[in-house]
Structure 1
Amino acid sequence: MSAPHTTTDASLSATDAVVSAPHTAADASLTTTDAPLTARVPGSKSITNRALLLAAAARGTSRLRAPLVSDDTLAFRGALTALGVRVEAGPHDAFWDVTGTGRGPVGGGGVWCADAGTAARFLPPFTATGRGTYVFDGSAQLRARPLRPLADALERLGATVRAEGDAGLPLRVDADGLRGGELQVDGGLSSQFLSGLLMAGPLLRTPLTVTVRDLVSRPYIDMTVALMRRFGAEVTEEAPGVFRIGTGGYTAVDLPVEPDASTASYFLAAAAVTGRTVTVPGLGRDSLQGDLGFVEVLRTAGARVDVGEDAVTVTGTGRLRGGFEVDMGAISDTFMTLAAIAPLADAPITVRGIGHARLKESDRIAAVAGNLAACGVETETGPDWMTVRPGPVRPALIACHRDHRIAMAFSVLGLRAPGLGFDDPSCVGKTFPGFHAELRRLFPE
């Protein structure tokens, strides 16, 4: 765990918001006497989609147990199927069996990525190791996300790549295998570019050495490397930011998928702001996911935290402590969780190192600041930081920007600030279709 520094639920429509008196920061009436709660958090999107790719590249049939079933993972699975990879689901999607051939795909074709950034970043390198012409495309939201650094890197490895859109998609890859050698990559925009290149490495003709500069979200690279090794790849980090990948390929494995740590952040934050105790089973101190480090931020904010061998528990104290700054660059998918509840704190909270969050499903800094302003909350922002000042939260319609994390983060604020509605509550289907139902189960009105 890397600690930071310092099915669609349409019933939560905007018209269902219940307007009541706004919260004030002085509210200290919460208690911690209620029975502990156990959150049912689905599998990790990051692990599921990486494991799908690695299983597709491996020799034999891999079984992925308890994979995440959501819009993004189904889009990734569908894209692999379009590439000729056989994926068979067990009863109720309890597992997915993925049969790989030990090489890149052949034959070419169109690949639809929907909204899934991981599909657009992981699959072009995979296809480039094979044969044929592949055209990648996705939703308007995905078309707006950058892809040029990945296209440039693939060309330096011998692929012919043409980005037809302003940011990247549609992307055409004329594949005839990739050579290895030395490659430098800018990791300042997204760690997914590097993950995609690393995972393709064992399928190259010769060993690959990748040097990355300005890497953001380092825990996701650690996750990628750990999963590559689990599938039998030869990968070493010879110096900080210098990765060497051998050409031994991958072998099939049986892999249980951990609960999603980013999704867990909402339920753990909910414990912190309601004075309850929430446990997430399956996430422990040996988790592959850096976003489990979010609990250390909650500890700084005054919550009691216990990270055990196979579970994490957070207990709220009835008071959210502010007056601190925290660099969340390594766990930026959770910064919105903190920012959304920061109005409930007793002093301002500043989050830094999050500039790359402007290039996600939405400009997340602007989206959070805009929604907090709609709630009457004062914020300040810069290129890679934001400060949230505590104060009353008034009823408002939250603009989700088709971004699942905006909707989920502000749903936590809604536990203490009644009257929040959402213009697109179903966008949570990207990673957790049952989110609203689970939050209501744990924290009924």
Structure 2
Amino acid sequence: MTETAAHPALWPAPHASGAVTATVQVPGSKSVTNRALVLAALAAEPGWLRRPLRSRDSLLMASALRAMGVGIEETVSSLSSSPSSPSGASGSPDPAGGEAWRVIPAGLRGPATVDVGNAGTVMRFVPPVATLADGPIRFDGDPRSYERPLHGVIDALRALGARIDDEGRGALPLTVHGSGALEGGRVEVDASSSSQFVSALLLSGPRFNQGVEVRHVGGALPSMPHIRMTVDMLRRAGAQVDAPESGGEPNVWRVTPGALRGVDLTIEPDLSNAQPFLAAALVTGGRVVVPDWPAHTTQPGDRLREIFTEMGGSCELTSEGLVFTGSGKVHGIDVDLSEVGELTPGIAAVAALADSPSTLRGVAHLRLHETDRLAALTREINALGGDVTETADGLEIRPRPLTGGTFHTYDDHRMATAGAVIGLAVPGVVIENVATTAKTLPDFPALWAGMLGN
């Protein structure tokens, strides 16, 4: 019996026989979908999410909100209102159609139990919502979720008046004893391990009696584009937000208390999930088109246009979408990824196939993600014959000829897609538990096969 047959979780990564040429419709953004769900649940009127991401993380978020009484109706939509029009406004035909979720706010209530899985957005964004519920809300999740930092949210909510039982762990499992309201006000938080600590407090801030003033007091703040995304989406929903990028005090965000609007929002494609497909064009010297790539966005994945161009490709925004073309050569890169850490696994995979060394910096916080991504990338690339060294805040990658073998994922979706990219150029790579990609990218194996024309 072959190893693959004996272990169904092993997936032979397809090897590209030539340049990849494909158009790939990337599903909606997880980061936008989950923020939009929270804001819609806290709004004063129903709202619409069009073309939301249907993945494990987003379905866990929807289930968490439903458990507290929020209505989320899933339909197939043929109408789309203007993004700026309120829910209930008359729509105009949407030629693309697609799925739509109608979110109907309700009085939040317990008792309820929330399964966070291993979703950072669920474990961090929902506890502040739970403080507004009437009754206890218990949070639990996958074993790895117990190891991920949550103390920033827990300590901040307590300082703002919440009662939380976590038996002193500063982590899951925990129970938020909602009283129907939270006083709010000024709070200091060290968000150096996760920018989601800031976003979590800001998203619910309009519903706190005094709003919220969040002051980051720790070291370097990672993933700033995600905080800018939170601020932008709050403002779209009618919240008043003072933020550093709009002339406010550095490392301080203020949200004024007030009602949120129900909005009609079409979710952008997940640009970070576009990474493996763009990487396929880069490492095979091919051409990949991603439709609906936004001209302006707060998604950190937009930085791929710059990074992958520096590594040997070229890109152009056209009426087709983003057209990315590989040159047939892959170059190493020295890059600070502190604002776009989630892109690190895919960049490391490409760097392992480059013609010169790479230095990836500013990503020490990745040790606290779905897995310790720096250790995992080092271990798995080196197991295929690579030469990767961990540094204090990143990776040094010296390309060497790679060989086939099993690429372990550690239940981390971005490890799985990184392995698939290497498999395009290296025959015999087998991905352990490729199904973990369903966390944010549903049916990745089918999308990958379709890109390759299989």
Q: TM-score, normalised by structure 1?
A: 0.90
Matched to 1:48, the amino acid is T
Tell me how far apart the structure 2 counterparts of residues 443 and 110 of structure 1 sit (CA, whole Å). 42
Residues 277, 313 of structure 1: 8 Å contact kept? yes
Q: How far 1:16 sits from its partner (Å)? A: 5.7
Whether 1:190 aligns to 2:190 is no
3-state SS of paired residue (1:233) = coil
Matched to 1:68, the amino acid is L
Tell me how far apart the structure 2 counterparts of residues 218 and 193 of structure 1 sit (CA, whole Å). 12
Q: Which shows bigger deviation, 366-375 or 107-116?
A: 107-116
Residue segments in structure 2 that go unaligned for 5+ positions in a row: 78-97
Whether 1:37 aligns to 2:19 is no
Q: How far 1:423 sits from its partner (Å)? A: 1.6
Instruction: State the match for 1:348 in structure 2.
Output: 357
3-state SS of paired residue (1:263) = coil
Whether 1:137 aligns to 2:143 is no
Residues 10, 434 of structure 2: 8 Å contact kept? no
3-state SS of paired residue (1:313) = strand
Q: Deviations over 1:8-65 (max 9, x none)?
A: xx99956664899xx9xxxxx976xx7x521110000000111011000001111100
Instruction: State the match for 1:6 in structure 2.
Output: none
Instruction: State the match for 1:158 in structure 2.
Output: 161
Matched to 1:294, the amino acid is L
Matched to 2:162, the amino acid is A
Aligned length: 423
Tell me how far apart the structure 2 counterparts of residues 19 and 126 of structure 1 sit (CA, whole Å). 43
Q: How far 1:205 sits from its partner (Å)? A: 0.6
Whether 1:400 aligns to 2:395 is no
Instruction: State the match for 1:46 in structure 2.
Output: 31
Residues 60, 117 of structure 2: 8 Å contact kept? yes
Whether 1:383 aligns to 2:392 is yes
3-state SS of paired residue (1:414) = helix
CA RMSD of aligned residues (A): 2.3
Whether 1:336 aligns to 2:345 is yes
Instruction: State the match for 1:121 in structure 2.
Output: 124
Q: Which shows bigger deviation, 433-442 or 399-408?
A: 433-442
Q: 1:201 aligns with which of 205, 211, 214?
A: 205
Instruction: State the match for 1:228 in structure 2.
Output: 234
Residues 241, 255 of structure 2: 8 Å contact kept? yes
Instruction: State the match for 1:97 in structure 2.
Output: 102
Q: Deviations over 1:223-254 (max 9, x none)?
A: 01111111111112122221111111211011
Tell me how far apart the structure 2 counterparts of residues 284 and 390 of structure 1 sit (CA, whole Å). 33
Residues 284, 308 of structure 1: 8 Å contact kept? no
Matched to 2:282, the amino acid is A
Identity %: 38
Instruction: State the match for 1:441 in structure 2.
Output: 450
Q: Deviations over 1:198-242 (max 9, x none)?
A: 011100111322112432100000001111111111112122221
- Asked which structure has the greater RCO (Cα within 8 Å, sep 6+), the reply is 1
Q: Which shows bigger deviation, 214-223 or 167-176?
A: 167-176
Q: How far 1:285 sits from its partner (Å)? A: 2.5
3-state SS of paired residue (1:59) = coil
Residues 122, 196 of structure 1: 8 Å contact kept? yes
Change (3 A) 1:47 1:12: farther
Change (3 A) 1:308 1:192: farther
Q: How far 1:295 sits from its partner (Å)? A: 2.0
Residue segments in structure 1 that go unaligned for 5+ positions in a row: 1-9, 24-28
Whether 1:253 aligns to 2:263 is yes
Residues 151, 162 of structure 1: 8 Å contact kept? no
Instruction: State the match for 1:172 in structure 2.
Output: 175
